[in-house]
Amino acid sequence: MKKWVLVFSLLAVVSVVSSLNLFFYMKQAHALEEASQQISLLEEKNQEISSQLEQNLLNSAMLYDHIDSIETDIKAIEADLDELRSSYGDVPGLRASLEELGKEITNIRQKLTEISSEYISASEVMEAAEPFVVYIQASLFSFEVSGSGIIVSSAGHVITNYHVVEGMRNISATLNTGETMTLELLDYHAGRDIAILKLVTDRDDLSFALLGDSDSLSVGTDVLAIGYPFPLDDIVPGRAAVTRGVVSAIRKIDGYNYIQTDTAINPGNSGGALMNFAGELVGVNVAKYVDIDIEGVGLAIPINEVKSIISEYAG
């Protein structure tokens, strides 16, 4: 009799455990089903957001194209206006209206840049910029230096800081593809610390930077510093490095204008690109202030002060 009681007791325990297992299984299945539904809803929402972002970026690009077209028209009108002035004197009010329109275009560009920083990631700007940021090596006998440079034409014109190549005889640039080319120094401005060089190549299909408008930069604008600081061991040059920050101020030092940023600028960054989030080159990184009481003070040459030497040699 005791044997049968034990058997029935075991059967009862097994039945209870099975019921509990079934209960928890059903509960977990229900929770998984709800989670799956939530994931599906999130995926649909993410797809909607992605589509909207793509449309916003497309609209932004179209707007930039329209602005460029308007600016070209304004320059043509101003040229015609100068011709009219030389023939008939000043045309009242027209030049003032053109200047006002130019200011409005600058404001629109600034707003587009601010909007772009919300929709475009730093990695996207970096991916687009890395092909035209190069690693520069220069030497004179046994003395060697390195820095960064920026390709500004499809034919391979490169800008960098003059102090990177000053007095050097052998100068070369390594592209992000790993290809190394000789650089020929074309011209420089020692005071402005800028130099323009040319890759010794017949290619005319090189990636190059889109020049922005540094005059339209506002304090607080998001920027990226891209270059080749501190090449380590056998990773030379490795991949370009990027640091992120904001425009801290526009300063005049020793008679020259500089963009002050809190992006990390290190040895090797000299001559590298300062980019906005519209993917435009707005400055050439040049130096940083170093002191025990100073932190986050990097300087870049405004790109508008480099455009003349670029136009002269690269068109």
Q: How far separated are the first and last CA of the chain, in Å rounded?
A: 107
When mean pLDDT is compared over 28-32, 107-111, 163-167, the highest value belongs to 163-167
Q: What distance in Å separates the CA atoms of residue 207 and residue 155, rounded to the nearest whole number?
A: 9
Question: What range does the domain containing 156 cover?
Answer: 130-199
DSSP 215: G
Told to judge if 193 belongs to the known catalytic residues of this protein, a careful annotator would answer: yes
Residue 14 domain flag: no
Same domain, 138 and 172: yes
What residues are paired with 242 via a beta bridge? 226
Q: What distance in Å separates the CA atoms of residue 281 and residue 214, rounded to the nearest whole number?
A: 8
- Dig out the tokens for 155 from the structure: 């034919």
The one catalytic residue in 153, 157, 193, 216 is: 193
Residue with tokens 């009481």: 293
| pLDDT interval class at 315 (50, 70, 90) | confident
Taking residues 21-45, report their average pLDDT: 65
Same domain, 136 and 115: no
pLDDT digits (tens, 9 = 90+) for 200-231: 999 999 999 999 999 989 898 999 999 988 76
Told to judge if 248 belongs to the known catalytic residues of this protein, a careful annotator would answer: no
Residue 124 domain flag: no
Total domains in the chain come to: 3
Q: Helical H runs in the chain? A: 2-88, 94-119, 122-129, 162-165, 307-314
- Dig out the tokens for 16 from the structure: 């209870």
Task: Please state the pTM of the whole predicted model.
Answer: 0.66
Residue 10 domain flag: no
Told to judge if 202 belongs to the known catalytic residues of this protein, a careful annotator would answer: no
Residue 190 domain flag: yes
- Residue-by-residue DSSP string for 240-304: -EEEEEEEEEEEEETTEEEEEE-S---TT-TT-EEEETTS-EEEEEEEE--BTTB-S-EEEEEGG
Q: Is the pLDDT of residue 59 over 80?
A: no
When mean pLDDT is compared over 126-130, 226-230, 294-298, 299-303, the highest value belongs to 299-303
The one catalytic residue in 163, 213, 216, 222 is: 163
Instruction: Write the CA distances from 298 to 112, 267, 274, 285, integer angstroms.
Output: 25, 12, 11, 8
Task: Give the domain-ending residue among 166, 199, 232.
Answer: 199
